[in-house]
Structure 1
Amino acid sequence: MLWRVALLVLAALSLAAGEPRRFDGHRVYRVEPTNKHHVQFLNELTSKYYNDILFWKDASVANRTADVMVSPELQNSFLEALEKKGMKSSVYVEDVQKLIDNERPAKKSRASFGWDDYHTLDEINEWLDSLADSYSGVVTTVVGGSTYEGREIRGIKISYGTGNPAVVIEGGIHAREWISPASVTWFINEILTSTDASVRSIVESFDFYIFPNTNPDGYVYTWTDNRMWRKTRKPYNLCVGADPNRNWDFHWAEEGASSISCSEAFAGSEAFSEVETKTLSEFLTGLGSDLQVYLSFHSYSQLLMYPYGVSSVVADNAAELQQIVEKAAQVLATRYGTQYTVGSIVDAIYPAAGTSIDWSMGALGLRYSFVWELRDTGLYGFILPADQIIPTSEETFDSVLSVLEDVLAASRSKKQLH
């Protein structure tokens, strides 16, 4: 117990001094739970030792690997516990702090906004404002909601004409997944600047509402205090924050979510308990029938999925959605050979109730809602080096265009039938 008290004191002193938490010697283990008891045990560990044992990839179902970050102080005990339970594991990341130290380029230039480095929330928002000036008549700034700490969920609308169906692009709902807002901002630039005729024919057929950071409080916290932070920043009992992608009001908390406030998958005290999800949902509802497509971007695992994340519900157009993601994954792989797994959320990864894309389809009635888990498959995890921002964005945008092309084709076919 003494070493835990010492650690807490050191952490408090570090935060008081304004220094981000360090993860020296923290390892990420890939663990293989083979039954429901293994899954339950791993979840109990992360809830009990939430300062020292943290999921990178959840343990939700048997026979699907989980990635678990463990502090140096608990590694021996963790491995002994796994051995007693008969669970196999391997070291996937030797030292998390080394990944963090090497995540960004040594020479950090801020002369202009670009994609050779990650950007703070203020830098992203300033860039969004500049686009409204540079592309007046095409780009307008929008506010999609607000946060517990009083920030705005900032975004832009891109429109090349009237009467177009609307696409919402959601980034950064999980704070530590930096590649998401980075890629989303790259998409914005490509939509505005591409001279490729095939790209232009697709993007100018839609109105885009694009929000690089839908969890601004959490994102700021990953820069100032804890690079591994995932949740919102609203206080709860012993711990802070809820998982904003388990908090939406569609089959809320039924499965794949936690009622324990210290859990990374804590669903909140009730559906839409988080001001971020509540206000963003109100903005989305206000788009009415114009909203046709919802695209959400996460990391990591290289997955492209569609609703639902609850076992009890199957999309009525699941066959169509499966065809769309299969084609999109093939297109994505063309540029760099990156392989994605596709399917419904339940089939491709694990049950996860209360997600934004489930709500967009189940509550708003959208027929086209998709979520990407971007690079990689665990070598870097959430700490993807900045030199992978551009290739990740390029291949992902190829798949986005494929999805939107199929949506347009389906819309035209429907009009012809009527």
Structure 2
Amino acid sequence: MAFSNFLLILALTGFVQGLSLGQDQRIRYDNYSVYRVKLETPGQRSLFKKLADDRENFRLWSEAKDELHLMISPGAFNEFEAEVQRTNSSAEIFISNVQELIDSEESANLMAARDGSFGWTKYNTLAEIYAWLDDILAAYPVITEGFVLGQSYEGRTIRGIKISYKSGNPGVFIESNIHAREWITSATATWLINQFLTSTDALVRQLAESHDWYIVPVLNVDGFVYTHEKDRMWRKTRQPSDISSCVGVDPNRNYDSHWMENEGASSNPCAEDYGGPKPFSEPEIQAMADFVSSLNGKINVLLAFHSYSQLLLSPYGHTAEELPPNYEDLMSVAKAYADAVEGLPYGTVYRYGTSAGILYPASGATIEWAYNEQDIEITYTIEFRDTGRYGFILPPVHIIPNAEEALVGIVALLEKCEELGYLNLKN
């Protein structure tokens, strides 16, 4: 990997621009690039993940067993190149300028926002989502009910909606936007809410009316607002650390279920997967746990929406050495989702497996807690589009196709759950 003098000058210029920001300006990622690093040894993984401790220069975007995606500041190209050569690794660029994608996304949002309506041709802010929820609750007072999980660290309300057409339905819980920068998740969750209430398609009506839906469009409300107002690439919560100047915890590593086991989360407050000083240190996660626990066995299926990678991930996340008791059923249900999605004209391919088996250890996650502590036997992390072309900055034109895939996938998933006997009422 050779870098010309011109490129280095350009890169350093971009790096200075990225750091010299006023308090009210948005963080920019001019000339930040994203590389796919192929991994052959555990040592390579550890060394490249260690680079990501320097958040000003490196950010871990995605990680799998044989590769990771790393965003690199223009000022850190030399360090990255040296590490690639020193470890005899291979790396290829797939996003050359992150800010260009952010600018394109923002332009598309502005174009779509001109008529002032809520919709799915743009990414909506938290305020827009909450105003739309209010309208939905007012328009469908008999079959919808708003609920509040609790308050965030910065004092924002964490809201959800229950959709129930009749009593005696099995419950499905959808958690969305636990990671702040994964905007496609709340866009998909709100689209599904709208479909469950307005679609005239017989299959969607059957899906909507035969389950009780508990949907939280944005769980990490502070981080989500921060991505809209300050830093599009922010992942974590916004609670300051007592031991570091770095802010925030990975909320999907903060549940009290195998917390910090088997290198499933980082103890470094600057890391993207920092598990926090203790389980449930984040009020958002404590609120989520309290609410799901209060439902007292009414949830049969829990789905956690994420991006990106096009994966269905089941427990266990804390270990790859052991499989959950209903592993075969979990794989059958995941296969049903993946097959249904691939059968659409888009032809999108989803892979599936346990979190630790197909990716890497991830302890303290939502699905781990739901499965291990709440006896919710069908629970998945669903990693939406894409596999790296856009990563977290998926253009708004993908919102509806992605949501259509999620809908068809969930239909197939729940049909398989019914066939296998997982939708029987628990009490």
User: TM-score per shorter chain, which class?
Assistant: over 0.9
**Which residues in structure 2 correspond to 1:335-354 (within 5 Å)?**
335=344, 336-354=346-364
Whole-angstrom CA distance in 1 between matches of 2:28 and 2:146: 36
- The residue type equivalent to 1:277 in the other structure is I
Quote how far apart the aligned CAs of 1:410 are: 2.9
Structure 1 equivalent of residue 4 of structure 2: none
1:219 matched residue in structure 2: 224
Counterpart in the other structure of 2:260: 253
1:368 aligns with 2:378: yes
Distance in 2, Cα, partners of 1:66 & 1:411: 38
- State the shift of 1:412 in Å: 8.1
Q: After the TM superposition, which residues 191-230 of structure 1 pair with which residues of structure 2 at under 5 Å, given as runs? A: 191-230=196-235
Deviation (angstroms), 1:343: 1.1
Q: CA deviation at 1:163?
A: 2.0
Q: How do 1:97-116 and structure 2 match up within 5 A?
A: 97-104=99-106, 105=108, 107=111, 108-116=113-121
2:177 counterpart residue number? 172
Superposed CA offset, 1:182-215 (max 9, x none)? 0111111111111122222222111111001000
Distance in 2 of aligned mates of 1:66 and 1:406: 33
Deviations 1:230-267 (A, max 9, x none): 00001112200000001111100113210000000000
Of 344, 369, 388, which residue of structure 2 is paired with 1:378? 388
Distance 2:115 2:144 in 1: 23
Amino acid at match of 2:245: L
The match for 2:76 is: 74
Give the counterpart of 2:62 among 41, 57, 63: 57
Provide the rounded CA distance (Å) in 1 between the counterparts of 2:103 and 2:82.
30
SS in 1 for 2:105: coil
5 Å-filtered alignment, 1:225-244, equals: 225-236=230-241, 237-244=244-251
| Superposition deviation, residue 350 in structure 1 | 1.6
CA separation of 1:385 and 1:8: change in aligned 2, threshold 3 A? closer
Separation in 2 of the partners of 1:53 and 1:345? Answer: 24
The one-letter code matched in structure 1 to 2:255 is: W
Q: Which sits farther off after the overlay, 282-291 or 73-82?
A: 73-82
The structural deviation recorded for 1:313 is 4.3
User: Percent of counterpart pairs with the same letter?
Assistant: 41
Aligned to 2:153: 148
Secondary structure (helix, strand or coil) at the match of 1:378 reads: coil
How far apart, CA to CA, are the structure 1 residues paired with 2:129 and 2:207?
A: 25
Structure 1 residue aligned with 2:335, among 318, 326, 331?
A: 326
SS of 2:264's equivalent? coil
In structure 2, give the amino acid aligned to 1:386: P
Query: In structure 2, how many angstroms separate the alpha carbons of the residues matched to 1:291 and 1:214?
Result: 18
Asked whether the equivalents of residues 202 and 405 of structure 1 are also in contact (C-alpha less than 8 Å), the reply is no
Unpaired stretches in structure 1, ≥5 consecutive residues: 1-5
Q: Which amino acid aligns with 1:244?
A: P
Contact persistence 2:264–2:362 (CA under 8 A) = yes
**Deviations, residues 42-79 of structure 1 (Å, cap 9, x unaligned):** 122111x21110011137x4xx1100000001112211
What is the aligned residue count? 406
Query: 114-123 or 203-212, which moves further after superposition?
Result: 203-212
The residue type equivalent to 2:301 in the other structure is: V
2:41 corresponds to: 35
Which range moves more in the overlay, 194-203 or 287-296? 194-203
- Offset of 1:413 from its aligned partner? 9.2
Tell me what 1:24 maps to: 30
Aligned 1:304-315 pairs, distance under 5 A: 304-311=312-319, 312-315=321-324
Describe how 1:285-300 pairs up with structure 2 within 5 A. Answer: 285-300=293-308
**TM-score, with normalisation over the residues of structure 1?**
0.93
Query: Of 398, 419, 422, which aligns to 1:409?
Result: 419
Q: How many Å apart are 1:346 and its aligned residue?
A: 1.4
Moved more, 343-352 or 297-306: 343-352
In structure 2, stretches of 5+ residues that fail to align are: 1-12
CA distance in 2, matches of 1:55, 1:238: 19
* Cα pair distance change 1:270/1:412, threshold 3 Å: closer
Structure 2 residue identity aligned to 1:78: F
Structure-1 separation of matches of 2:21 and 2:205: 50
Write the distance in 1 (CA, Å) between the matches of 2:284 and 2:16: 31
Q: Partner residue of 1:14? A: 21
Q: Is the 8 A contact 1:15 1:225 kept in 2?
A: no
CA distance in 2, matches of 1:315, 1:329: 20
Q: Would the alpha carbon gap of residues 240 and 161 (structure 1) be closer, same or farther in structure 2, given more than 3 Å must change?
A: same
Aligned residue in 2 for 1:3: none
Q: Aligned to 1:260, what secondary structure does the other structure show?
A: coil
Matches within 5 A, 1:118-157: 118-157=123-162
The amino acid that maps onto 2:48 is L
Question: What secondary structure, in the 3-state scheme, does the structure 2 residue paired with 1:116 have?
Answer: coil
Aligned-residue offset at 1:83:
0.7
Q: CA 1:412–1:270 in structure 2 vs 1: closer, same or farther (change >3 Å)?
A: closer
Aligned residue number for residue 274 of structure 2 = 266
CA displacement at 1:14 relative to structure 2: 2.3
- Counterpart CA distance in 2 for 1:352 and 1:413 is 27
Equivalent position amino acid for 2:123 in 1:
Y
